[in-house]
Amino acid sequence: MKLTCENINVTLDDKEIVKSLTLHAADNAFVGIVGPNGCGKSTFLKTVYRVLKPKAGTVFLDDANALKMSYRQSAQKLAVVAQHNHQDFDFTVGEVVMMGRAPHKRALERDHAEDFRIVNDALDRVQMGTFKERLFASLSGGEQQRVILARALAQKTQCLILDEPTNHLDIKYQLQMLELVKSMKMTVVAAIHDLNLAMMYCDYVYIMDAGRIVGHGKPEDALTEAMIEKVYGVRVKHMTDPESGCRMLAFLPSNKTHII
Amino acid sequence: MMTTKQDKLAEGTVHLKESTAEENVKMKKMRLRIGYGLTVLLLIVGIVISVGLAVAIGSTTIHAKDVYRVIWYECFHPSALADYASGAIHDVIWLIRLPRIMLAVAVGGGLAICGIVMQALVRNPLADPYLLGISSGASLGATVAILLGVGTFFGENYVGIVAFIGAFSASILVLTIANTGSRANPVKLLLSGLAVNAVFSSFSSFIVYVANDKDGIQDITFWLMGSLGGAKWSNVIWIYIVVFAGMFFFMTQYRTLNMMLLGDEVGITLGISLHAPRQYYMIITSLMIGFIVFASGMIGFVGLMMPHFARMLFGTDHKKNMPIAFCFGAIFMIWADVLSRIVIPYTELPIGIFVSMFGSPFFIYMLVRRQYGFGGGKS
């Protein structure tokens, strides 16, 4: 499923947070959004998943205007793993993931065997299959985040929004989660904090600064040393691991902070 | 040598950890799986037995067997039980005691359901059904009716009717205030509830002060303490219709109620906007509570405690915990009523006093120990 955002403008408390933002995500592409804290990534993603209403602009899922759909319809096409999920309720992991089936349910519809199969499958895919009966609140931050990913998978959507999904995770699970998401046939739009992870997993990146897109392209083309220095204000060097051929960024201490 | 020892030690710890984790899972499983259906069935049987016993207990003791026979006769009119069609025993059971006990079932169960819904609505485990202005609205209604004689044309139970009007209009006012300016959210609902409570209680106090009517004040006090004494079949039927209609409605809404605990944003990503349901759930609960107040005055703590007991057994999933809470509420209320009738011979304690006596210590326990959260022992 293609996801297209055209000329999105978002204003919060009379302050323009997102300015005329246009973004395309091709079918099954992994598109990353990078940018410094407060540049408007989350605000933009929230308009895509409809928690915020844009002042102007539209979001298309294939050719349908997502902002005109019912929430139920858009939740059948678009799943979300958001930034913070600390919740202190007493749901079990299985119950949390089962909520991912809600967009496919009518008020009086029961949970069928098929729903339980989908839930189990989603939990297995994030390697949380044995945690089904545990209480969500008793899990670590990283485990909770994986359960939320399982819930998103249980929604069986073709499009997935990740809003800094790897925030609480160990590096192992960061890689695992992004690998898993990438291996699935889904269109993914992800706000990613770690530029190296963006380099590794994104098919395409958009660089955001102060509410605007300031650059986009394939990660190795878009995330240039000059661009990163301009947007983040840090010195950085492109390197290639001679053995694996992996591209990576090395951050350098700035000249000014010379320790005496 | 050293390495092997350490290895063994490490192995041991790993083993230990694994087994506790397993046990943990097992315990959680037990909590959830010990036959849910069986539990509901047992609780329903519990209600039926409690009703029989509660009717039998009283100033004249009646055989529980007779109780069921009279009920059976009144329901199906079999000729074999024609002996039970009239007489003193029949009248005591069918006209005096049973309506009261049946009212206890509906009031207890209804309060528990409203408590669960209200706690989900404001995402606060310490919420109770009277929270959003309803209690002070009802008291103001009762005060106005008793001291100023407003609404006497409603007939015999005019105090209850005016209290109902007070309760319902208070919650509508809360909803309106919470929606003014920006959309209502749990915090705004709570704060508007507090504000409306303050306004309404000050009006009650004002009227009490100005009227300076000692008998009237005593009447109000008694009325506010709650009683099931006024039960008559003609009232009870209506309470049943409202409480059961409300309960079945909320049973169909369990997915939305679950999502209310996760918040508005998650709700939208899972396909449900919670704004509209929050409004009409509140109107429906205040209708239910209004009817309950009309029939029995103010009975506190049942609506707060029963949801917590239900959650302790079967967790937060509203599909499971609403029927359990209803049954708990019903059984609790039946026995609270029995105790309030027999603790002091020939005197009836207001049931509200009784319930609060048990309720407040539990509330404090919950507050200071572990249940501040939706039962998830962590927070």
CATH number, domain with residue A155: 3.40.50.300
Q: Quick check: B312 pLDDT over 50?
A: yes
B94: amino acid identity, one letter: W
Cβ–Cβ contact A105 with B under 8 A: yes
Query: Any chain B CB within 8 A of the CB of A159?
Result: no
The Cα B64–Cα B157 span in angstroms is 31
pLDDT at B5: 45
Q: Residue B19: its pLDDT value, please?
A: 42
Cβ <8 Å between B252 and A72: no
Judged against a pLDDT cut of 60, whether residue A182 lies above it is answered with yes
The mean per-residue pLDDT over the stretch B45-52 comes to: 93
Determine contact: A51 vs chain B, CB below 8 A.
Answer: yes
Question: What pLDDT does A166 receive?
Answer: 76
As a whole number, mean pLDDT of residues A96-113 equals 89
Token pair for B152: 């006497």
For tokens 């008694």, the residue is B222
For the residues B143-172, what does the mean pLDDT come to? 86
Q: Which of A129-138, B151-160, B205-214, B290-299 has the lowest mean pLDDT?
A: B151-160
Q: How far apart are CA B282 and CA B98, in angstroms?
A: 31
CA distance A90 to A82: 20
- CB neighbours of B373 closer than 8 A, spacing ≥ 6? A88, A89, A90, A137, B125, B379
Give the per-residue pLDDT at B376.
44
Adjacent-strand bridge partners of A15: A12
pLDDT of residue B4: 46
- Contact at 8 Å (CB) between A85 and A27? no
Rounded distance between C-alpha atoms, residue B375 and residue A92, angstroms:
12
Look at A173 and A132; give whichever has higher pLDDT: A132
Q: Whole-angstrom Cα distance, residue A150 to residue A97? A: 6
- Residue A259 forms part of a structural domain: no
Which residue in chain A is spatially nearest to B274 when comparing CA positions?
Answer: A71
A257 in a domain, yes or no? no
State residue B6's pLDDT score.
46
Whether B123 is covered by a domain: the verdict is yes
Residue B3 lies in a domain: no
Judge whether A107 is closer than 8 Å to chain B, CB to CB: yes
Closest residue by Cα to residue B266 from A77, A80, A23: A80
Looking at the domain assignment, is residue A168 inside a domain? Answer: yes
Tens digit of each residue's pLDDT (9 = 90 or more) over B77-98: 887 777 777 788 888 888 888 9
Predicted local confidence at residue B373, as pLDDT: 52
The predicted structure's pLDDT at residue B305: 87
The conformation of residue B132, written as its DSSP 8-state character, comes to: T
pLDDT 10s digits, B325-367: 999 999 999 999 998 888 887 778 888 888 888 777 877 776 6
Instruction: Give the integer Cα–Cα distance in Å for A42 and A34.
Output: 11
pLDDT level of residue A173 (50, 70, 90 thresholds): confident
Q: A101-118: b or e for each residue (b if 16 or more CB lie within 10 Å)?
A: bbbbbeeeeeeeeebeeb
pLDDT at B92: 84
For residue B201, tell me if it sits in a domain: yes
Burial letters B306-339, b for 16+ CB under 10 A, else e: bbbbbbebbbbbbbbbbbbbbbbbbbbbbbbbbb
| A72 CB within 8 Å of a chain B CB | yes
Q: Do B259 and A102 touch (CB under 8 A)?
A: yes
Question: Inter-chain contact B316–A91, Cβ cutoff 8 Å?
Answer: yes
Is residue B76 in some structural domain? no
- pLDDT band for B26, please (50, 70, 90 cuts): very low
Q: The CATH number of the domain where B354 resides is what?
A: 1.10.3470.10
Nearest to A71 among B271, B315, B376 (CB): B271
What residues of chain A lie within 8 A of the CB of B258, using their CB?
Answer: 91, 95, 99
Give the tens place of pLDDT for each residue, A194-239: 899 999 899 999 999 999 999 999 998 899 989 998 999 888 888 8
The residue-averaged pLDDT of A129-155 equals 89
- What are the CA-CA distances from residue A134 to residues A75, A117, A179 (Å)? 26, 18, 25
The answer to whether A23 and A214 have CB atoms below 8 angstroms apart is no
- DSSP string over B190-244: HHHHHHHHHHHHHHHHHHHHHH--HHHHHHHHHHHH--STT--HHHHHHHHHHHH
Contact B90, B70 (CB under 8 A): yes
**Cβ distance of B378 and A137 shorter than 8 Å:** yes
Task: Give the domain extent around B195.
Answer: 101-368
Q: What is the pLDDT of residues B225-271, one digit of tens each?
A: 888 888 888 889 989 999 999 999 999 999 999 999 888 889 999 99
DSSP SS3 for B84: helix
Sheet of strand A30-34, all strands in order from the earlier edge strand to the far edge: A78-81, A159-163, A187-191, A30-34, A204-209, A212-217
As a whole-number percent, the residues of chain A with pLDDT over 70 amount to 95
**Domain presence at residue A97:** yes
Of all residues in chain B, the one with the smallest CA distance to A80 is B269
| Residue at B134 is within a domain | yes
Residue B374's pLDDT is what?
58
pLDDT above 50 for B11:
no
Q: What is the pLDDT of residue A26?
A: 93
Q: How many domains does chain B have?
A: 1
Q: What mean pLDDT is predicted for residues A21-41? A: 92
Nearest Cα neighbor of A80 from A195, A197, A179, A190 is: A190
* pLDDT band at residue A255 under the 50/70/90 scheme: low
B2 vs A150, which has greater pLDDT? Answer: A150
User: Cβ-count burial of B172 within 10 angstroms (0-12 exposed, 13-18 middle, 19+ buried)?
Assistant: middle
Written as six digits, the tokens of A206 are 């958009």
Give contacts of B28 with chain A, Cβ < 8 Å.
Answer: 92, 133-135
pLDDT of residue A79: 94
Assigned domain for A155 exists? yes
Structural domain contains residue A188:
yes
Q: Is the pLDDT of residue B32 over 80?
A: no
Out of A18-22, A160-164, B102-106, B156-160, least confident range: B156-160
Summarize the confidence of residues B164-172 as an average pLDDT.
90
CA–CA distance from B255 to each of B79, B244, B355 (Å)?
48, 19, 31
Distance CA A49, CA A195 (A): 23
Question: In chain A, how many domains are there?
Answer: 1
In the prediction, which pLDDT does B151 show?
A: 81
Whether pLDDT at B20 is above 50: no
Q: Please choose, from the candidates B65, B108, B121, B42, the residue with its C-alpha nearest in 3D space to the C-alpha of residue B285.
A: B121
Is B197 a member of any domain?
yes
Please give the pLDDT value at position B85: 76
Lowest mean pLDDT among A73-77, A148-152, B292-296: B292-296
- 3-state secondary structure (DSSP) of residue B288: helix
Average confidence (pLDDT) over B140-162: 85
**ipTM of the complex as predicted:** 0.88
- Is residue B123 within 8 A of residue B116, CB to CB? The reply is no
Chain A residues whose CB is inside 8 A of the B376 CB are 88-90, 135-138
Domain range spanning residue A27?
3-252
Residue A16's DSSP bridge partners are A11
Average pLDDT, chain B: 82
Enter the tokens of residue B310.
Answer: 């239900």
Most confident of A62-66, A138-142, A144-148, B323-327: B323-327
For residue B248, being part of any structural domain is answered with yes
Taking contacts as CB-CB distances below 8 angstroms, the residues of chain A near B271 are: 70-76, 102-103
Task: Inspect the interface and report whether the beta carbons of A102 and B315 lie closer than 8 Å.
Answer: no
Q: What percent of chain A has a predicted confidence (pLDDT) above 90?
A: 54
Instruction: Give domain status of residue A211, yes or no.
Output: yes
Whether A254 contacts A238, CB under 8 Å = no
How confident is the model at residue B103, as a pLDDT?
94
The pLDDT assigned to A108 comes to 77
E-strand ranges in chain A read 3-12, 15-25, 30-34, 56-61, 64-65, 78-81, 159-163, 187-191, 204-209, 212-217, 235-240, 247-252
pLDDT surpassing 50 at residue B30: no
Residue B226 is predicted with a pLDDT of 83
- For all residues of chain A together, what is the average pLDDT? 88
Percent of chain B with pLDDT over 90: 26
Element (H, E) at B245: helix B233-252
Predicted confidence band of residue B48 (pLDDT cuts 50, 70, 90): very high
User: Minimal Cα distance from B119: which residue of A?
Assistant: A89
**Residue contact A72–B28, C-beta within 8 A:** no
Three-state DSSP state, A16: strand
pLDDT confidence of residue A54: 93
Q: Is residue B61 in some structural domain?
A: no
